[in-house]
């Protein structure tokens, strides 16, 4: 794969940072009437959005919700494939896609839509258990970061906010894994580095706590961590990623706390951390592989992505 270029509508901080880095990727303007803004900021522009579309095999559309649906018309006109971010409506794509849960359904399809960051990590964990012992139902509570780092539009708050149940993540999980009954509650919290989800699973087959830990530990996109080792919460994991030297402090894996794994009768409960800025990156690459028919099977596709990104190398 080759990243041909990136596009934006204005000289945002991200675009200005690219310029300061020597513009490592060709940059394209997605809004011609803003060309004067790029000129004033001395941002080199390689062409317009249509030029970028004509130069690629597949687009990764990370625009704000609703814009991707409008861009789809351009992709159709140029006969291009596209992957849309999780905030778009489901009908924008041929398949609501997750690399581990339904890879084969995306093979050869023109338009795929990814799941949100929370849903991506949640499905990794539920799918992991489901493939081992089967899952009857899931109940989740999401402690959700209120905004990404640097986003001021949410305001400065000192409050928690509860959304009506069920949360869209539970509904989305059922869309991709229709054999699982899921529900959930979401709570917004005034933090920026990561979400935490508590997961309550009713398995089809009885399972021990040790089995659950083993299942989660065996998944390359899940890190088993311990509170006793210093992983006390989302900030610990973000700092750990920075200390690893990961670009932007990104971590592609979700983390599951070993001490959180408990049984209640037949039910399994545990907590996972979702690094929202990076967690969907592997699934984006899975989606490219599927849509472009680079690999036909789930195991082959996700394995190549994991190897390319170095996921699981630490195990």
Q: Pairing state of beta strands 262-264 and 267-274?
A: antiparallel
Claim to verify: residue 286 and residue 151 sit in the same structural domain: no
Asked, for residue 193, whether it belongs to a domain, the answer is yes
Of 58, 83, 95, 99, nearest to 300 by C-alpha is 99
Identify the bridge partners of residue 84 per DSSP, sorted by sequence position: 61, 113
Indicate which CATH number applies to the domain containing 147: 3.30.360.10
Claim to verify: residue 134 and residue 213 sit in the same structural domain: yes
The tokens of 231 are what?
């992983």
Predicted pLDDT at 146: 82
Claim to verify: residue 199 and residue 239 sit in the same structural domain: yes
Predicted pLDDT at 1: 92
The CA-based diameter of the chain, rounded to the nearest angstrom, is 65
Annotation says 117 is catalytic = yes
Claim to verify: residue 15 and residue 94 sit in the same structural domain: yes
Claim to verify: residue 242 and residue 299 sit in the same structural domain: no
Claim to verify: residue 109 and residue 129 sit in the same structural domain: no
Claim to verify: residue 184 and residue 270 sit in the same structural domain: yes
Write out the chain's pLDDT in tens, 315 residues.
Answer: 999 999 999 999 999 999 999 999 999 999 999 999 999 999 999 999 999 999 999 999 999 999 999 999 999 999 999 999 999 999 999 999 999 999 999 999 999 999 999 999 999 999 999 999 999 999 999 999 887 777 777 776 788 999 999 999 999 999 999 999 999 999 999 988 899 999 999 999 999 999 999 999 999 999 999 999 999 999 999 999 999 999 989 999 999 999 999 999 999 999 999 999 999 999 999 999 999 999 999 999 999 999 999 998 888
Q: How many domains does the chain have?
A: 2
Claim to verify: residue 76 and residue 103 sit in the same structural domain: yes
Number of helices (H), then strands (E), belonging to the chain: the values are 11, 15
- The predicted model scores a pTM of 0.94
Tell me how far apart the alpha carbons of residues 301 and 160 are, in angstroms, rounded to a whole number.
39
Asked, for residue 315, whether it belongs to a domain, the answer is no
3-31 CB burial, b ≥16 within 10 A, e <16:
ebbbbbbebeeebeebeeeeeeebbbbbe
Claim to verify: residue 9 and residue 105 sit in the same structural domain: yes
Predicted pLDDT at 198: 98
Predicted pLDDT at 156: 66
Tell me how far apart the alpha carbons of residues 283 and 280 are, in angstroms, rounded to a whole number.
5
Of 88, 95, 286, 86, nearest to 176 by C-alpha is 95
Instruction: Choose, from 117, 196, 255, 311, the residue flagged as catalytic.
Output: 117
Q: Which residues are annotated as a binding site?
A: 8
- Residues 196/236/216/141 CA torsion (nearest 10 deg): -10
Asked, for residue 314, whether it belongs to a domain, the answer is no
Predicted pLDDT at 192: 86
Indicate which CATH number applies to the domain containing 292: 3.40.50.720
Tell me how far apart the alpha carbons of residues 296 and 249 are, in angstroms, rounded to a whole number.
32
Question: Does residue 61 sit in helix, strand or coil?
Answer: strand
Tell me how far apart the alpha carbons of residues 138 and 155 are, in angstroms, rounded to a whole number.
33
Beta strands in the chain (DSSP E): 5-8, 26-29, 47-48, 58-61, 81-84, 95-97, 111-114, 135-145, 161-162, 181-189, 195-203, 222-225, 254-257, 262-264, 267-274
Of 199, 196, 214, 198, nearest to 133 by C-alpha is 214
Identify the bridge partners of residue 257 per DSSP, sorted by sequence position: 225
Length in residues, the chain? 315
Q: Which residues are annotated as a binding site for NAD(+)?
A: 8
Cα 27 from chain centre: 24
């Amino acid at each position: 794969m080759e990243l041909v270029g990136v596009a934006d509508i204005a000289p945002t901080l991200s675009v200005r940072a690219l310029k300061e880095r020597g513009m490592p990727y060709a940059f394209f303007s997605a809004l011609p009437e803003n060309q004067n803004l790029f000129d004033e900021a001395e941002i080199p522009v390689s062409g317009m959005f249509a030029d970028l579309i004509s130069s690629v095999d597949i687009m990764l559309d990370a625009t704000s919700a609703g814009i991707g649906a409008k861009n789809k018309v351009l992709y159709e006109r140029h006969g291009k494939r596209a992957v849309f971010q999780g905030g778009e409506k489901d009908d924008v794509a041929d398949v609501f896609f997750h690399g581990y849960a339904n890879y084969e359904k995306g093979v050869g399809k023109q338009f795929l839509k990814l799941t949100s960051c929370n849903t991506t990590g949640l499905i990794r964990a539920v799918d992991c258990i489901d493939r081992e012992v089967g899952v009857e139902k899931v109940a989740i509570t999401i402690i959700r970061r209120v905004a990404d780092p640097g986003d001021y539009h949410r305001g400065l708050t000192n409050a928690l906010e509860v959304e009506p149940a069920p949360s869209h993540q539970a509904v989305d999980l059922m869309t991709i894994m229709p054999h699982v009954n899921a529900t959930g509650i979401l709570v917004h919290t005034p933090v920026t580095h990561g979400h935490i989800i508590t997961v309550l699973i009713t398995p089809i087959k009885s399972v021990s706590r040790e089995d659950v830990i083993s299942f989660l530990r065996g998944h390359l996109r899940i890190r088993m961590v311990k509170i006793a080792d210093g992983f006390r919460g989302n900030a610990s994991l973000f700092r750990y990623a920075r200390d690893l030297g990961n670009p932007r402090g990104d971590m592609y894996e979700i983390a599951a706390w070993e001490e959180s794994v408990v049984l209640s009768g037949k039910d399994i409960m545990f907590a996972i951390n979702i690094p929202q800025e990076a967690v969907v990156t592997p699934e984006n690459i899975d989606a490219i592989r599927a849509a472009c028919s680079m690999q036909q099977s789930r195991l082959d596709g996700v394995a190549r992505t994991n190897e390319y990104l170095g996921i699981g190398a630490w195990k």
